[in-house]
Amino acid sequence: MRADPFTAELKVPAARSAVAQSLSRPNSEDPVVRIPVWIGVVLRIILFFFTNASSFLQLRVEVSTPVTSWKRLREGLYLYQNGIAPYEGGVFHQAPLLLAIFNFLPPILIPILFIALDYAIARGLVEIAQYKRKLQIAEIWPAPTSDDSLIDAVPVEAPKPEIPSPENTPADSVAWLRKPASDDDVLQSTDDIPQSVHKRKNVNFASQEEDIVPPWLANDNCRLVQGDSAHAPINAPQLKPSDPTQPVDVILHPEDIGAMYLLNPYSIITCLSQSTLLFTLIAIVGGIQYAIKGNRNASMLFIAVAAYLSFYPAMMMAPAILLLSTQTSRPVMQALKSALPLFLAFLVALLGLSYLLVGTWDFLPSTYGVILSVPDLTPNIGLFWYFFIEMFEQFRPFFLCVFQIMVFIFVIPIALVFREHPLFVAYATTAIMAIFKSYPSVGDTALYLAFFTMHQELYKYMRNMFLVFNALFFASILGPLFHYLWVYAGSGNANFYFAITLVFGLAQIILLTDTGHALILREWERLHPDLRRKRVELVHQ
């Protein structure tokens, strides 16, 4: 079952790189597509300097956890500056180097810094999305073998419920029929591309052609109708909107991913709350970004910083190493062997620096110790706090171990199963972190949602989109409300808010697994052209 895909994929990398270079050049210089990103930035500036949203959000449990709260950082900074050991007490649990950063920063620059961080994260995501776009364009859908031993199961005259009006369909067909003559660099560049990739030309034109129209129109698929020459629409009098044997993919717009992140309410409130989580996020994004560039040292440095700041991102090693191995086209084990020592070295260096800063190792139990053993049970959107408030004392260590293992247990398997899709591995790991870390906040959710929006081609394979996003929406509304009823009005009790955190977690888990299934199904259909074309029934085991 899994044997043939690899045979089919063997010559892909070369093809990918070739096509990729030639294809996604024009996209990056288009002023229009940057508008949403700048809207996001301007929105942050307005909210920071013209409203008191920041001071309000700094105190919200959804965004500021004990290990990222800005207020606690200020307390730690105050203690540090007044010569009191900041890690002696039970308030400050953040990494020492943060103290070093904010020790010298003039207060006026602090909002600027956080906005800049968010913008940098967005840019990093955009770069990652450009890579994803290349992959998407260079993706190979092997052509069906042309034996007609199996007659088509789809009756051609089985009409779709609404037949497109005749005036726009020919336009489309003509539109893409006209094109092949007009472009040549692709023709040159596609010399080394296997026969089955030729149909990709259309995609190329489509992508360029839809690059000059404003980005939102990219959602209108009639502009990028693709079909391979085997199914030329001329001899099919009533053209279906898309070739039934091949999905219509929206070519990804990298800038949109940045916009998706910057306009995401979760990331907006995270930025406004000045949560130090942003440092972790940018380190994660940077790690992936440099891994894509094939820059091993930088990516390891970034991931080491992320792990140093909030421990869990250590598991981002998995996608980073996969990316390094694909980009530098070396086997995974070799990449691992060369990267792991670097990572450890950077980590040790960072810890050493912090030791020099605070002059004691107290910060180890007070940061990583707190993350692991969860002594501070302040509510957040995660699953730990109420569980360990209600946990019986003698079982506490056991369940702590179980929960912490749960976070890491699937990283290696996911990396192995999806090793062909490192970005999906990145998405899965960030999602798992956001759901199961001991002090999660909506900032983590914002990050992996950005990765999720990169996999737009999976949407139409997913079953529970409506459920998931409604659940997230309801949880986002009812969470603060029930927290208010419990903590302020006193009319509701803790179970209200706990129930909402459960819903939030459940929705995210469903989203994760749903995406995974979608990817697997899509891979099957991509790699089995004949059976896909016949649309045979599938079972899974």
Contact with other proteins (CB under 8 A) among 426, 512, 526, 529: 512
Of 508, 480, 366, nearest in space to 61 by CA: 480
In the complex, what is the shortest distance from the CB of residue 302 to other proteins, in angstroms, rounded to a whole number? Answer: 26
Contact with other proteins (CB under 8 A) among 22, 136, 246, 429: 246
Give the side-chain half-sphere CA count within 13 A for 77.
Answer: 16
In the complex, what is the shortest distance from the CB of residue 383 to other proteins, in angstroms, rounded to a whole number? Answer: 5
In the complex, what is the shortest distance from the CB of residue 82 to other proteins, in angstroms, rounded to a whole number? Answer: 8
Quote the DSSP letter at residue 369. Answer: I
Angle between helices 396-409 and 422-436 (to 10 degrees): 160
In the complex, what is the shortest distance from the CB of residue 528 to other proteins, in angstroms, rounded to a whole number? Answer: 8
Phi, psi of 174 (to 5 degrees): -55, -45
Cite the DSSP H helix spans in 191-245: 200-211
Between the CA of residue 538 and those of 28, 120, 524, 525, 531, what are the distances in Å?
40, 44, 10, 10, 10
In the complex, what is the shortest distance from the CB of residue 288 to other proteins, in angstroms, rounded to a whole number? Answer: 21
Instruction: Please say whether the beta carbons of 143 and 228 come within 8 A.
Output: yes
Taking the C-alpha atoms of residue 232 and residue 243, their distance in angstroms, rounded to an integer, is: 9
With contacts defined by CB under 8 A, name the span among 105-113, 121-129, 185-193, 238-246 that binds other proteins. Answer: 238-246
- The site that binds other proteins (CB under 8 A) totals a number of residues, namely 115
Measured from the CB atom, the residue of 30 and 183 that comes closer to other proteins is: 30
Of 438, 368, 448, nearest in space to 93 by CA: 368
Is residue 162 a contact point for other proteins (CB under 8 A)? yes
Binders in 466-505 for other proteins, by CB under 8 A: 466, 470, 473-474, 477-478, 481-482, 485-495, 498, 502, 505
Residues in Cβ contact with 143 at an 8 Å cutoff, skipping those fewer than 6 apart: 195, 196, 199, 228, 230, 529
Token pair 């996604």 in the structure block, residue = 24
Is residue 365 a contact point for other proteins (CB under 8 A)? no
Contact with other proteins (CB under 8 A) among 244, 294, 365, 369: 244
**First vs last C-alpha separation in the chain:** 11
Binders in 66-85 for other proteins, by CB under 8 A: 71, 74-75, 77-79, 82, 84
Instruction: Please say whether the beta carbons of 132 and 252 come within 8 A.
Output: yes
Per-position DSSP letters for 326-359, written without gaps between them: HHTT--HHHHHHHHHHHHHHHHHHHHHHHHHHHS
Amino acid 94 reads: Q
Measured from the CB atom, the residue of 294 and 369 that comes closer to other proteins is: 369
Contact with other proteins (CB under 8 A) among 13, 26, 359, 375: 375
CA dihedral 410, 283, 48, 451 (to 10 degrees): -40
Measured from the CB atom, the residue of 133 and 240 that comes closer to other proteins is: 240
Is residue 419 a contact point for other proteins (CB under 8 A)? no
Token pair 């990283």 in the structure block, residue = 411
Binding mask 194-233 for other proteins (x = CB under 8 A): ----------------------xx-xxxx--x--------
Is residue 250 a contact point for other proteins (CB under 8 A)? yes
Is residue 8 a contact point for other proteins (CB under 8 A)? no
SS3 225: coil
Binders in 256-315 for other proteins, by CB under 8 A: none
Is residue 333 a contact point for other proteins (CB under 8 A)? no
Contacts 24+ apart (CB under 8 A), 494-499: 494/379, 494/386, 494/389, 497/379, 497/386, 498/386
Burial class (CB in 10 A: 0-12, 13-18, 19+), 362: middle
Measured from the CB atom, the residue of 355 and 524 that comes closer to other proteins is: 524
Contact with other proteins (CB under 8 A) among 436, 439, 448, 451: 436
Is residue 241 a contact point for other proteins (CB under 8 A)? yes
With contacts defined by CB under 8 A, name the span among 20-28, 128-136, 173-181, 399-407 that binds other proteins. Answer: 399-407
Binders in 513-532 for other proteins, by CB under 8 A: 513, 516-517, 520-521, 524-525, 531
Measured from the CB atom, the residue of 10 and 539 that comes closer to other proteins is: 539
With contacts defined by CB under 8 A, name the span among 179-187, 288-296, 340-348, 465-473 that binds other proteins. Answer: 465-473
Contact with other proteins (CB under 8 A) among 199, 201, 240, 421: 240
